[in-house]
Amino acid sequence: MSLTQQVQLGVIETAPLVLDIGVVLLVAASLGLLARRLGLPAILGYLATGLLVSPFTPGYVAGGAGLTLLADIGVILLLFEVGIEIDIKRLGREQRSLFWAAPLQVGIGVLLGTPIFLFLNIPFMGAILLALSVAMSSSVVIVNITRSKRRTTEPNTENVLLGWSVIQDITGVVIAAIVLTLFGADQRPLAVAIGGLIGFAALTLLAARLFPRVLRWVRWDNDLFLIYSVGIGLAIAAIGTVFFGIPMALAAFVAGLSINQGRETDDVRRQLLPFREVFAVFFFVVIGTLIEPSQILESLPFTLLLLGLLIAFKTIPALLLTRMSHLRARPIQLAVGLSQLGEFSFVLGSVALAEKVLTQSQFTSILLAVVISIIGSTLIVRMVPARAI
């Protein structure tokens, strides 16, 4: 077969994937626009798109493998950008109480939630990951809350919301890494698994020293700066998984943290933002494609349990801790803004499902809780009266 024929065959084989991408983006943009016109987050339009093009609903069905690959890239860039979103040193100067309040809130959720899930006969690893999923919020949703034109938050509350979500993520990554090392099903000896964590920590420390200098060298060239930025995030995430056994999404977040102290941080975020937004669409679309309507009724009781635990073990502790720590934020608005499941909940739920410590129905419950909590927190945070905050 000649090279020309090979190219033509390749074009024919990839054309359906390109069609899927085009259709998904157009539908997602339209439903995202509709959601925003209704006062809802565009993310809900993307989730609805996934439901429409999933194999579980009639009509057009998008190819799964290609979209899943794009979604994987999306969540990597999503969490990489989240990792560089906040200056940890500035937080330490301005909102020092966050460094004990946010980890304590996550710890309360894990310590109180895990026994409940164990009581429901969920294996220990699944119980911890589920409790951690409930204890963590969505950095993407929180960023949208603080940037929305409809927002009613004031700057101090917005800064604390962003800082709280980032410290939540750091705490959650550490806990998840320990849990997956101790209870993961990769059959690695414990010493090797712990060595992997140490090796990845060393890699991120090296990246924190090396990559800001590389970015500084090419800062004058927008094209090279963008290529290096994307390449750094993808490479560290993949190396973390291939060589050190760290889940790729978690490794991407740590990669973002590793370079977030340089002066180039804002430039990296600005360069990545358009790409992150496009790939993030596929991430939320894929979540929508995984929801099986036939399982919704079966999954609904467990979904309600997750939402109840979210309020009991995240909303209320966040409210009380905000008041106790005297953070410069509106306590009720802050607590409501944190009250959703998000991208890390999906990632941890996917890991638990792959390890067979969660059932498909329980995983569907996580997806439903993600959707319902995003709607609830995004709308209610705007409705909290000023006298109550």
Q: What is the pLDDT of residue 328?
A: 83
Tokens of 310: 């979210």
Please tell me the distance from the alpha carbon of residue 337 to that of residue 165, in angstroms, as a whole number. Answer: 10
Give a yes or no: residue 10 inside a domain: no
Q: What is the pLDDT of residue 134?
A: 94
Give a yes or no: residue 68 inside a domain: no
* Cα end-to-end span (Å), the chain: 71
Q: How many domains does the chain have?
A: 1
Domain containing residue 149: CATH number: 1.20.1530.20
Residue 229 near residue 212, CB atoms below 8 Å: no
Please tell me the distance from the alpha carbon of residue 43 to that of residue 28, in angstroms, as a whole number. Answer: 9
Q: What is the pLDDT of residue 209?
A: 77
Q: What is the pLDDT of residue 7?
A: 43
Please tell me the distance from the alpha carbon of residue 105 to that of residue 157, in angstroms, as a whole number. Answer: 17
Residue 160 near residue 129, CB atoms below 8 Å: no
Give a yes or no: residue 14 inside a domain: no
Sign of the dihedral through C-alpha 328, 332, 335, 338: negative
Give a yes or no: residue 121 inside a domain: yes
The number of C-alpha atoms within 13 Å of 281 and in the hemisphere containing its C-beta is 21
Give a yes or no: residue 137 inside a domain: yes
Tokens of 266: 């804002």
The number of C-alpha atoms within 13 Å of 134 and in the hemisphere containing its C-beta is 32
Compute CA distances 226 → 155, 180, 232, whole Å.
29, 33, 10
Q: What is the pLDDT of residue 237?
A: 80
Closest C-alpha among 249, 203, 255 to residue 231: 255
What DSSP line would sit under 139-153, residue for residue?
HHHHHHHHH-TT---
Compute CA distances 126 → 52, 91, 110, 304, 331, whole Å.
30, 33, 12, 18, 31
Give a yes or no: residue 30 inside a domain: no
Per-residue pLDDT of the chain (389 residues; tens, 9 = 90+): 554 544 444 445 567 777 778 888 899 899 989 988 887 878 888 888 888 888 777 766 666 566 667 667 777 777 777 777 666 666 666 577 888 999 999 999 999 999 999 999 999 999 999 999 999 998 778 877 887 777 778 888 888 888 898 788 878 878 887 887 777 655 666 677 777 778 887 887 787 777 777 777 877 777 777 778 778 777 888 888 888 777 777 777 777 776 665 566 666 666 666 666 776 787 788 888 888 888 888 999 999 999 999 999 999 999 999 999 888 888 999 999 999 998 788 888 888 888 889 998 999 999 999 889 988 898 888 887 655 55
Give a yes or no: residue 381 inside a domain: yes
Q: How many CB atoms lie within 10 A of CB 37?
A: 8
Q: What is the pLDDT of residue 6?
A: 43
Question: In which domain, by residue range, is 111 found?
Answer: 77-388
Q: What is the pLDDT of residue 356?
A: 87
Q: What is the pLDDT of residue 67?
A: 64
Give, to the nearest 10 degrees, the angle between helix 265-290 and helix 64-83: 140
Q: Where are the alpha helices (DSSP H) in the chain?
A: 3-37, 42-52, 64-83, 88-94, 98-119, 124-135, 139-147, 155-183, 190-217, 222-244, 248-258, 265-290, 296-310, 316-325, 331-337, 343-354, 360-383
Give a yes or no: residue 59 inside a domain: no
Tokens of 295: 């399982």
